Structure 1
Amino acid sequence: MTSSPDKYSVLLARCGGLAPVPTAVAHPCDVSSLTGALDAANLGLIVPILVGPEAKIRAVAEEADLRLDGITIIDAPHSHASAELAVRAVRDGTAELLMKGSLHSDELLHEVALGANGLRTERRLSHVFAMDVPTYHKPLFITDAAVNIFPKLADKADIVRNAIELVQALGIATPKVAILGAVETVSEKMPSTIDAAALCKMADRGQITGGLLDGPLAFDNAISAEAARIKGITSPVAGDPDILLVPDLEAGNMLAKQLTFLAGAEAAGIVLGARVPIILTSRADSVRSRIGSCAIAVLLAHARRARKATEIL
């Protein structure tokens, strides 16, 4: 997932040799979402199970000259039913991934969050933007910019855990996590800075594992080692984070969109914390972004398979 063909190929190459993952695609009723699912299938990433109004899906395919030969379609009368049946396909083991089509995110996540009939776990659901920013030296993961509006400390702990597990599945053993604030000092006037300090101490005490946390860090000294040096900040995270934990959804959403529209970044979107990864892209996203999201979800699915196999042994 990147504007550079070489980097993009690296992500897809990581999926090379992996079996395609059965994926329930909820309501793929526009050209972009249907093309994204079928392109991912053609690349050997997923086995799509299209869930939605069959006549509408076939009409979209005909309009865009897309072939549906051999593709399973589960007929559903409308978007709400599409979300319900797609979640059911995951619950009954038919699918290992869930992919958003042209319905609204809230419709799909509502079904995911239902008690006995949903896909919730003990973890908080959270969203990660996996971004390729041309001006940054490696992939950058921003969380949470789409699900949790004003996360509390416990929520942020789960958001960090989810993001660490994602980045580890992509091959980074110990991700560096910059916990963002408006300033780099702890102040009772800014609750997000207190949360940042608490999260770092939780990591010190083993309550959050697998990553290297530091914060609060203002955006400049999180991203720029020189800015951190000028401000007298000594940190292995400053200037080299893999993950940016934002204080709230508004800050994260604006940051991700600024990087996209002002810095030419490309973004893939994944929701974590459910029983399976959820490929959650915007209806306005390009097919390229959808493919990137699929590739990341496939790597996650196979990492989970490997972990389960190890636990059984």
Structure 2
Amino acid sequence: MIRNFRMMVRRAAALGPKTVAVIAPQESSSVEAIEEARRKGLARGVLIGHRALIEQMLRQAGADPAGHEIIDERDMDRAADRGAEMAAAGEVDILLKGGISTNRLLQAVLKGPRTLRTGRLMSDVALFEDRREGVRKIMMLSDGGVNVAPDLKEKIQIIRNAVAVAHALGIPVPRVAILSGVEKVQPEVRSTVDALALAKICSYGEVPGCVVDGPFALDNAISPEAAKIKKVESPVAGEADILIMPDLEAGNIFGKSLVYYAGRDLAHVIVGARVPILISSRSDPPAARLASIALGVLMVEEARKREEEAKP
């Protein structure tokens, strides 16, 4: 099981490089990250954007621009279209957001005859290192980046996507906590009602390869002591691997709190498209983007394994 980002990078490097299209790289962090990924053997870069600016940033990072394929496209929307077309044609394995907004990138991914749609809901899964005393593991949260106010059916797909990421990290049966502000069902708090319904639905095997329960408040989802004090009994209580947020606002605020108050890096991947889509924030440091690239490589490998297993 992968327990931290360094292990994730090492595992991805052992799998061999994947081709990553960087869409509109206009800041040094995405260029530095793809160069570091190239050096470590994780990725071959296809940088789609302003050629002169990209070459300048590569040189500033101590890299030879000849080490990456550069496609000169100064218009962000056309750069996103080009990246999506290359992914649909199988020319690149992963899309990495540069200076373009997530919404503009997803519009390119979803439109046109060469769409990257699969029929599945797309959702953002964010990873961070849990370094509390006595704990060393990677935690996942979803969805803080794509689905604004998911309904029950959408939350089931969000769980399914997050579980796929956990499996790629080597967690065979992840524990999934459906979060709310309280751990008791209250009819006036929709997220508690949803959590109860999701736990019941998943108890019948709707999402295989995981254990789902809820509602949980954050403390009794991740702290065995808090769960014991509050008498919350569940195989998930205090031991969650995946935190399912009530809505995008809660997920986004929680994720940014980890970054700015706890000093954690976040690795992001959008799951549910034909290729992994990495949506690191434009303010993320190169280390966080490198972790996202490593995660994308693991997701490509997980998809390949699933395809092999599905063959007759």
TM class by shorter chain equals over 0.9
* Mapped partners of 2:283, 2:35: distance in 1: 17
Residue 234 of structure 1 corresponds to 233
Q: Does 1:145 align with 2:144?
A: yes
Letter in 2 for 1:241: A
Q: 1:9-20, aligned counterparts within 5 Å?
A: 9-20=6-17
Q: How does 1:72-221 map to 2 (within 5 A)?
A: 72-114=69-111, 116-135=113-132, 136-221=135-220
Q: Provide, for residues 134-159 of structure 1, a one-character-per-residue CA deviation record: whole Å limited to 9, x for no partner.
A: 22542110110111111111111111
Contact map agreement 2:5 2:129 (CA 8 A) in 1 = no
The C-alpha deviation readout for 1:242-286, integer Å capped at 9, x for no partner, is 100010111111111212222222211111111111111011001
Percentage identity across paired residues of the two chains: 38
User: Aligned partners of 1:138 and 1:93: how far apart in 2?
Assistant: 33
Please tell me the residue identity of whatever aligns with 2:137: K
Q: What secondary structure sits across from 1:139 in the alignment?
A: strand
**Equivalent residue, structure 2, for 1:35:** 32
Q: C-alpha displacement at 1:67, in angstroms?
A: 1.5
- Which residue of structure 2 aligns with residue 247 of structure 1? 246
SS of equivalent to 1:17: helix
* Aligned residue in 2 for 1:274: 273
Aligned counterparts of 1:16 and 1:294: Cα–Cα separation in 2: 10
CA contact (8 A) 1:134 1:263 kept: no
CA contact (8 A) 1:169 1:303 kept: yes
Q: Distance in 2 between matches of 1:8 and 1:233?
A: 31
Which residue matches 1:301? 300
Instruction: In structure 1, list runs of 5 or more residues that go unmatched.
Output: none
Q: Residue in 2 aligned with 1:25?
A: 22
Q: Which residue of 2 aligns with 1:286?
A: 285
Partner deviation per Cα, 1:104-130 (whole Å, 9 max, x = no partner): 111111111225332112211110110
SS at match of 1:123: coil
Could you say what the CA RMSD is over the residues aligned between the two structures, in angstroms?
1.7
Counterpart CA distance in 2 for 1:308 and 1:244 is 27
| In 1: Cα distance, 2:139 partner to 2:11 partner | 18
Contact 1:99-1:279 at 8 Å conserved across structures? yes
State the AA in 1 paired with 2:269. I
Q: 2:234 corresponds to which letter in structure 1? A: S
Other structure's SS at 1:265 match: coil
The aligned amino acid for 2:17 is: P
- Tell me if the contact between 2:13 and 2:40 (Cα under 8 Å) persists in the aligned partners: no
Note closer, same or farther for the CA distance 1:282–1:55 as it changes in structure 2 (3 Å cut).
same
TM-score when normalising by structure 2: 0.94
- Determine if contact 1:133/1:264 at 8 Å carries over to the other structure: no
Larger mean CA deviation between 257-266 and 275-284 belongs to 257-266
Normalised by the size of structure 1, how large is the TM-score?
0.94
Q: Which amino acid aligns with 1:198?
A: A
Report the number of matched residues. Answer: 309
Q: Look up the equivalent residue of 1:296 and give its one-letter code.
A: L
Residues 196-205 or 240-249, more deviating: 196-205
Change over 3 Å in CA distance of 1:133–1:262 after alignment to 2 = farther
